[in-house]
Amino acid sequence: LTMASEALRLAAALPPQEALEPEFLFLGTGSAKPTSRRGQSAILVRLGTSLVLLDCGGGTWSQLVRLLGKEAAREAVDALDLVWISHHHADHCAGLPSLLSQRTVPGLQVVAPSAVRRFWVAAL
């Protein structure tokens, strides 16, 4: 966890004095076999003033709305600094187009393998 926290701090370019304990909101941990209670992979991480989404499986936007309410979910999506996609399998990136369609501000950095970019461009 310490190495992951440090990597996120560096990726978000936070000064060391702002790097606090990370907060995690598990939106989905069901991977390839989601259930009604476990969605596809997505973890929202707040680290200091940065908000990062780790993976964005199908249903990520719906889960944000379910847990935060529609207004707070939109605020969270607009506040995102970085979306990191681990690999191109749909259970890790299929929610990206619907999540991005909710965003109203520019400037989101998406870090992903090239196969994800091809999927994202085709879906939009």
Catalytic residues: 91
Cα–Cα distance measured from residue 93 to residue 80, given in angstroms and rounded to the nearest whole number: 16
> 42 near 63, Cβ under 8 Å?
yes
> 48 near 14, Cβ under 8 Å?
yes
